[in-house]
Amino acid sequence: MKMTMIGAALSVALLGGCVTIGTTGGTGGQATATPVAEESVVVRPASAAFVQQSEATFNAIRAASGLGPVRFDPAPAAAAEVHARDMAVNGFRGHTGSDGSSFLARARRAGGSCAVAENITWGSSDVSGAFNWWQNSPQHASAMARRDVAAFGLAEVNRIWVLVMARC
């Protein structure tokens, strides 16, 4: 698991220097949660089926708004997984990391040059549920409808969903 986190952290570095827009949402419950032991954290792997479902769902939403398709990308997916895991392990929900970092600070730390938007939600049991929640929230839908978005990553850890969108 240590190697997985190191690999994910390196992938996040590829996104760095990005401008970040954050939007948060939940499907119920309070904005904070009881801390989760790291051993109990379940990460949904980015299997071919997960990637295909994510792309199909996100692109259907974009097409309905007259927007072009986006592709699933491993780098934003790694960034999404790192943040989802951080929230699950440390028992919080939000765009500020457990180390106190803001979205902009984390993006700058990673050292890239592309624009990034992030949506989070919790409680959904599947890809469709997470995207449905975001689609029905004006702030989240607006982030997903950015014309400059070309790629995205999606991760789920213990029903905490993070969608990271990038233009490169």
Number of domains forming the structure of the chain = 1
Question: Residue 80 pLDDT more than 70?
Answer: yes
Name the pTM for this structure.
Answer: 0.73
Question: Residue 168 pLDDT more than 50?
Answer: yes
Which structural domain range is residue 138 located in? Answer: 2-166
- Of the candidates 47, 69, 43, 67, the one whose C-alpha atom is nearest the C-alpha of residue 56 is 69
Nearest-10 Cα torsion for 85, 22, 78, 92: 0
* pLDDT (average), residues 58-74: 95
* pLDDT (average), residues 47-73: 96
Confidence at residue 37, expressed as pLDDT on a 0 to 100 scale: 45
Share of the chain above pLDDT 70, in %: 64
CATH number at residue 51: 3.40.33.10
Question: Residue 111 pLDDT more than 90?
Answer: no
Q: Which residues make beta-bridge pairs with 142?
A: none
